[in-house]
Structure 1
Amino acid sequence: MSDSADVLLQKANRLLASAGKGGLFNFFSGGSEDKYEEAADTLVKAAGALMGDGKYKEAAKTYERAAQIYNDKTDKDTRALAPRTYIEAFKMYIYKPRDLESAARCVDFATHYWSRNNNVYMAANKMEPMGDAYVAEVQEIKDKERIMKLRQHAVECYESAAKWFTLTTNANLANRNKVKAAEHAAMNADYQRAAKHYEELAIASKASTTFMRGYFLSNGLCHLAAGDTVAMERALLEYPDHDPGFKESHEGKLLVGLAAAQEAAELNDFEAAEAAYVQSGHSKTQYNQMIFELISRAKKTIPGQAESVENFMGKPVEEPVEVAPANAEADMY
């Protein structure tokens, strides 16, 4: 610990001790609220010094301590510093090795504060990075149970961010979070949840036939991956209501071919439909990895394929994999 951080922490502790004495002492030396505010300000400076020393977890705890004081011990105006200070703590907690539980605690306080005070944009803008932190952790671990749990947390964060961005009428950011929620729900085999998001995205994309068809394709592939033939049949009937040309599109032909092959349990027909889609110009790239991952999972539903099918990344289908967001906009961070 640097001398600067050490000195600042000692000063903050003295101020806190003084503020807690109350009575005539604080009457003559300044009000306790002022002392608490000064102590919190000093802790923020100490946290900055700790961060400069690369002591991120100590900095995180110090920021969080300052935020608690702002929230619990200061006046209404100063209390507004609490959520921002919690976010500074969050940023430190997600440095490796990440402390996601503490990071989530800080983000939850900040986002609830802002949402209660009619600043839902700030709430959404911080909930999305929390989801990204969960996903970053997923990429670095192998425990399947923990991977699924972290993905679930990520999906919930993205859904909250999408809801709040929608309230601010920021459709682009809302849709970006819906895409993330859909993809990670699908990777967790929560196909019904993913399909719902993809359907909403498609219907909201009427201005772009390309995007609409891409989202309808993802929606249909979720039904196929789930082996839900009833939902797939219904969806194929409904897609043309929104896009009259869907049936004759590459996406439409792929879904019809895959659905028929799945129902007939014909692997050759399934692979032929996939090959025709690839030959139409839709090769496996980082921009459509999710499509081919879902195709691979749908193929697994054909009897006899559970043990033999591998996904596009060369890993068994049962093992969760990380994919690049499809149709996602540039990262804003």
Structure 2
Amino acid sequence: MAPKSQAQQLIEKADKKANSSGGWFSSSTAKFEEAGDLYQQAANAFKLEKLFREAGDAFAREAECREQCKEQNEAANAWWNAAKAYKRGFPELAIQALTQTIVHLTGTGRFRQAADREKEIAQIYLQETHDLRKACDSFERAGDWYAQEDATATANQCYKDAADLHAELEEYPQAIHRYEQVADQSLTSNLTKYSVKEYWLKSGLCALALGDTVTAKRNQTKYTTQDPGFPSTREAKFIKAITEAVEGGDPEAFTGAVFEFDQVTKLDNWKTNILLKIKRSIAQEGGPGTLT
């Protein structure tokens, strides 16, 4: 039989300590503190062996020991370490561990750190499990926590990511609300004012994806009152052109406007997908350009 690794020996030692009854002169707190230290050592040994599931499990056992000792900060850190190990191939377990981390962080008022962990959850949902609904919810929750901690720029990034996902889920009114929220906040700083035209463009595309040219035009007028320079931007001219094409049921004019815009500002996947949805709403397909 192959000899046990150092990590396995440490796990056995930790299990024995955690399950021991203790003695007359030892407290249960001390027992769990010692077991927690051993689980942590075992977890790090598993990481050296690149056994990330086992490392995550050991960190999780450490976290449970810290909880027995009422050590909130240490428990949060252990769950986070478990999540980082689980992220190497076990996304659902990583989400569970991060959720436990957040419980401890919010319980001790550390909402900025909780927002960081919630953002991690959103990214796992988005990139690993491809659950857009849950990713959207997590981005919004993280945004709310960042906002209440005055981390405005990071909050806006989360809200923007949530808006993009609302649009992909065809929840266009919610997307418009978030884009306008981020734009309003961005207008207050000279460093972020330049990005407002992008948010208003996306808001306009969402209105057109709804088939609501009235809202699209009304919103463009509202944006002009907020920034008188907006109508002269390529984004505003583009929205105006495709709105008129949708109203006129003119796919050739629509495709021509898209082609012209794409020649200068390359369309990303998000814009391409929503423009295809808008074009399909026009009665007749066809015409030259980038959309087919």
TM-score between the two structures when normalised by the length of structure 1 = 0.79
Q: Which residue of 2 aligns with 1:91?
A: 84
**Structure 1 equivalent of residue 23 of structure 2:** 26
Contact 2:250 2:284 in 1 (8 A): no
| Aligned equivalents of 2:18, 2:103: Cα separation in 1 | 27
Task: Tell me the equivalent position of 1:172.
Answer: 153
1:107-139 residue CA offsets vs partner (Å, 9 max, x unmatched) = 12211321232111110111111111122225x
8 Å CA contact 2:95–2:124 kept in 1: the answer is no
Q: Any stretches of 5+ residues in structure 2 without a counterpart? A: none
For 2:9, the equivalent position in structure 1 comes to 7
Counterparts of 2:149 and 2:4, CA distance in 1: 43
Mapping of residues 241-260 of structure 1, within 5 Å: 241-260=225-244
SS at match of 1:80: helix
Q: 1:300 aligns with which of 274, 277, 280?
A: 280
Runs of 4+ in 1 over 3 A off after TM superposition: none
Change in CA separation of 1:16 and 1:255 when aligned onto 2, cut-off 3 Å: same
Structure 2: distance between partners of 1:248 and 1:130: 40
The match for 2:219 among 231, 235, 245 is: 235
1:82 is displaced (CA, Å) by 0.7
The 1-side partners of 2:184 and 2:159 are apart by 13
Matched, 1:136 2:127: yes
2:42 match:
46
Alignment match, 2:265: 282
The letter of the residue matching 1:132 is Q
Pair 1:235–1:117, CA change in 2 (3 A): same
Q: Does 1:115 align with 2:106?
A: yes
Structure with the larger RCO, 1 or 2 (CA within 8 Å, 6+ apart): 1
Q: CA deviation at 1:235?
A: 1.0
Q: Counterpart in 2 of 1:266?
A: 250
Check whether the contact 2:105–2:113 (CA below 8 A) recurs between aligned residues: yes
Tell me how large the CA RMSD over aligned residues is. 2.4
Q: Structure 1 17/271 Cα, relative in aligned 2: closer, same or farther at 3 Å?
A: same
Aligned residues: 286
**Amino acid of the structure 1 residue aligned with 2:95:** A
Residue matched to 1:141: none
Q: Distance in 1 between matches of 2:96 and 2:262?
A: 45
List aligned pairs for 1:84-233, cutoff 5 A: 84-96=77-89, 98-100=90-92, 102-137=93-128, 147=130, 150-206=131-187, 207=190, 208-233=192-217
Q: Distance in 2 between matches of 1:46 and 1:2?
A: 12
Q: What is the distance in 1 between the residues matched to 2:244 and 2:238?
A: 10
Residue 172 of structure 1 and its aligned partner are, at CA, apart by: 1.6
CA contact (8 A) 2:36 2:66 kept: yes
* Residue 81 (structure 1) aligns with: 74
**1:201-236 CA distance string (max 9 Å, x none):** 111111344211111001111111222334313212
Q: Percent identity?
A: 24
Retained in 2: the 8 A contact 1:26–1:32? no
Query: 1:268 Cα shift?
Result: 0.9
CA contact (8 A) 1:162 1:178 kept: yes
Cα distance in 2, alignment partners of residues 48 and 257 from structure 1:
59
**Does the 8 A contact of 2:63 with 2:78 survive in 1?**
yes
User: SS at 2:50's partner residue?
Assistant: coil
Please identify which structure carries the higher helix content: 2
**Alpha-carbon distance in 2 for matches of 1:276, 1:253:** 11
SS of the residue aligned with 1:204? helix
Shift of 1:2: 5.8
1:104 is displaced (CA, Å) by 2.0
Q: Give the aligned residue type for 1:50.
A: F
Structure-2 residue corresponding to 1:320:
none
Q: Displacement of 1:237 after TM fit?
A: 2.3
Alignment of 1:35-74 (within 5 A): 35-71=31-67, 73-74=68-69
- Contact 1:134 1:154 survives alignment (8 Å): yes
Q: TM-score, normalised by structure 2?
A: 0.89
Residues 220, 42 of structure 1: alpha-carbon distance in 2 compared, 3 angstrom cutoff? same
